[in-house]
Amino acid sequence: MTDLDPSAVRLTSLVEACHARLAGQLRARERFFALSVGLSGLCGLLVLGTRYVPVPMALLVVCLGAWAAWQRVHKHLPDRYSVAQLADLRAGLADALSTAYHFRNAPRGERNGVIRFQREAAEHASRGASPEQLFPAVPQFTRRVAAWLVGAALVLAAVRVAVQENVTFEPPLPSILLAAIFGSTPPVAGQPSTQPAALVDPANDTSLPADEPPAPRAEPGQDTEPPRLADEQDHAQTAAAEEPPEVEGLIPIPLDEEAGANGAEDTQAGSDGQQGPSDDGEQAMLPPPDGEWDEQAQSLLDKLKQAFENMLQTLDMASIDSSEADSSAEPGSGSSDQPSAADASAESQASELDPAGQSADASMEGGEPGAEAGESASAGATTGEDTDGQTSGGENASAAGSSDGDKTLAEARQLEAFGALEELYMERAENIVGEVTIETTLAEQSASVPYTHTDVPSSEGSGVVTRDEVPAAYRTYVRNYFEALREDSR
């Protein structure tokens, strides 16, 4: 027996090279994983804005991704013996390399000759194998994910830059897009909006009938919003006319330029009986002097707004103006005296401009309580239940509400809850298929079903009983089986 070469340079160098290559691949994969996590946080920030994803939270996501990648590298990085096994498996060496690597430092003894021969055989067999062949570079999934996320982040950033005039990351991207669609800029904290608000152009309003009653007037002596003066209305209309209308029948009006002046002037107009929305300097919407609205177009606009609000609520995002409008509608103050949906739109804009909702309060308080109860169907559609004449039964005037379509089912469930099951049964009797179990009260009730004639064919059957012999080899198992059955039955 000859002594072993204690260095085993060739074997060790091959295993070391394979280990280094595998570790490099693993580290690269985990780097892309960390990058993907960080990009996910960036995309979340770009979509939801810093309002919902603050910068510290995004940084925390990045740090968590880096930490997870570091943990995964240390968890999945195999030792050199395992790398040798993997190389054996990939090169078809039948565990020669790993066995030689394990016994490379074996103490001298009787098996020295065997170990030396085995190592030589392993090195000879692995002579043609290289780390690049054993561990080739494979396309990594995390790299593709990172590339996709980079593209998504760029697209989201481009959308924000394209939509916003003053690029900010505070508002969520859906609200920015909604505002862009409806011609208004999403509110920015501490920054007054310069985007025009949507108004109905009374000059283009041809759908309003001639006998449409005039806008409600405030009662003398009440704290109502003053209507606009004629010159200011003209100024507003002129300014609005300079802006191209984004929607047919809508005229955008700059808000912050007139907001301060309109506050006092609306008060004067209110004393004259002119009814109109008020604002406290940041009010966005102003009614035209004539007070006539295109109800049909406004109804469509309201439905669109309601649909988008429902979508945002489904996405668990705050609605644009529902909470502000609800908070501004004070009970008992005649909150239904704002007849037009444009007012609701104005409230929406105002509520976003003023987080405290003061402007909306001012507009609602400026109206005469209970004066125009019958004319508020359209306005009631935006809030759902603030109309005096339409609050019974919780029905919405709009057909695009969130509770549409399930009224019958809801009523049926209420009846079911009250024990009136026969009505539920009668409503559903036409659709009953298969077996039905009806739970009723103790009172005598009857149920009837249509007669169905059913023919069941029958035939004579016969069988032959044969005694099946249990093979001798299975008798023990059969006996044990039935004994176990008897024990279970006991």
Partner 1 sequence: MPVKDPAAMSANEQIALVRTQVHSVVVGHESVVNGVLNALLAGGHVLLEGVPGLGKTTLLKTLGRALHLDYSRIQFTPDLMPADILGSLVMDTTDTGAKSLRFERGPIFTHLLLADEINRATPRTQSALLEAMQEKTVTSGTTTYSLEEPFLVMATQNPLEMEGTYPLPEAQLDRFLLKLLVEYPEREELTAIVERTAEAEAPQISAVLDRGQILGLRRAAGRVLVAPHVRDYAISLVLATQPRPGRPNALARRYVRYGSSPRGAQALVLCGRVRALMHGRLHVSIEDIRALALPALRHRIILNFDAHADSRSEDDILLEILDQIAVPA
Q: Give the residues lining the site for partner 1 (CB under 8 A).
A: 78, 81-82, 85-86, 88-89, 94-96, 98-100, 102-103, 110-111, 113-115, 117-118, 120-121, 124-125, 471-474, 477-478, 480-481
Q: Is the separation of the CB atoms in 395 and 334 below 8 Å? A: no
Closest CB to partner 1 among 92 and 209?
A: 92
Tokens 């005096």: give the residue. Answer: 388
Closest CB to partner 1 among 85 and 390?
A: 85
Closest CB to partner 1 among 98 and 195?
A: 98
Closest CB to partner 1 among 83 and 344?
A: 83
- Terminal C-alpha separation, the chain: 71
Closest CB to partner 1 among 123 and 170?
A: 123
Q: CB-hemisphere CA count at 13 Å for 309?
A: 22
d(CA 392, CA 39): 50
Please provide the DSSP assignment of 116-152 as one string. HHHHHHHHHHTTT--HHHHS-----HHHHHHHHHHHH
Q: What region, left, alpha or beta, does residue 171 occupy, with left being phi > 0 and alpha being psi -120 to 50 degrees?
A: beta
Nearest distance in Å: CB 29, partner 1: 18
Closest CB to partner 1 among 70 and 117?
A: 117
Closest CB to partner 1 among 406 and 483?
A: 483
Q: Is the separation of the CB atoms in 309 and 319 below 8 Å? A: yes
d(CA 28, CA 226): 69
Q: Is the separation of the CB atoms in 183 and 198 below 8 Å? A: yes
Residue 197 has φ and ψ, to the nearest 5°, of -95, 160
What the block records as the tokens of 101 is: 């690597």
d(CA 477, CA 262): 98
CA torsion 26→29→32→36, rounded to 10°? -110
Nearest distance in Å: CB 89, partner 1: 6
Nearest distance in Å: CB 324, partner 1: 58
d(CA 146, CA 302): 41
Nearest distance in Å: CB 488, partner 1: 14
Closest CB to partner 1 among 103 and 169?
A: 103
Nearest distance in Å: CB 70, partner 1: 23
Nearest distance in Å: CB 136, partner 1: 17
Nearest distance in Å: CB 466, partner 1: 19
Nearest distance in Å: CB 122, partner 1: 8
